[in-house]
Amino acid sequence: MADYLNSYLFIGAILFTLGAFGVLVRRNIIVVLLSVELMLQGVNLSLGAFSTFYHDMGGYMLVLLSLAIAAAEAVVGLAILVALSRHVDEFYVDRLKSLRW
């Protein structure tokens, strides 16, 4: 099993789906951001597996880029959360309604 591309892609697909499900269903902003990180984990695993099984370095480089982007995304997301906590003391996405009609 460890010698097949399938198995890694399978695990990556499960992690990605769980992350997408968490983004759509959970209300807490922190858990939504954590679910985005979970999706990135699944994508990283698939990229690394493709790189290994196609004998190319491109996937590994994409994993590194995705790490940098995940860090940037987490930093900006949490900064928005801190700014939000200054204005409204509310951490649940469906109670923040000012952009909803």
Partner 1 sequence: MSDLACTWLGLMATIFGLGTVLLRSPVHSALSLVMVVFHVAGLFVLMGAGFLAALQVIVYAGAIIVLFLFTMMLLNLEQHDNEPHMHRYQKWLGFPLGGALLIEATWIALAQANPSETLLGKYSPERLSELGGTAFGIADAMFTSYLLPFEVAGVLLLAASVAALSLARKPDEDIMKAMPDMVSDAAGSMTQPSVQESKLNQSPTERGDNH
- Asked whether position 43 contacts partner 1 by CB under 8 A, the answer is no
| Shortest separation between residue 39's beta carbon and partner 1, angstroms | 10
Q: Toward partner 1, which CB reaches closer, 60 or 99? A: 60
**CA–CA separation, 100 vs 24, rounded Å?**
17
Between the CA of residue 94 and those of 24, 29, 76, what are the distances in Å? 11, 10, 20
Q: Which two tokens stand for residue 86?
A: 């200054």
Q: Which of residues 19-38 bind partner 1 (CB under 8 A)?
A: 19-22, 24-28, 30-31, 33-35, 37-38
| Shortest separation between residue 64's beta carbon and partner 1, angstroms | 7
Collapse the DSSP code of 23 into the 3-class scheme (helix H, G, I; strand E, B; otherwise coil) and give the result.
Answer: helix
- Among 47, 41, 32, residue whose Cα is nearest residue 77: 32
- Asked whether position 94 contacts partner 1 by CB under 8 A, the answer is yes
- Asked whether position 48 contacts partner 1 by CB under 8 A, the answer is yes
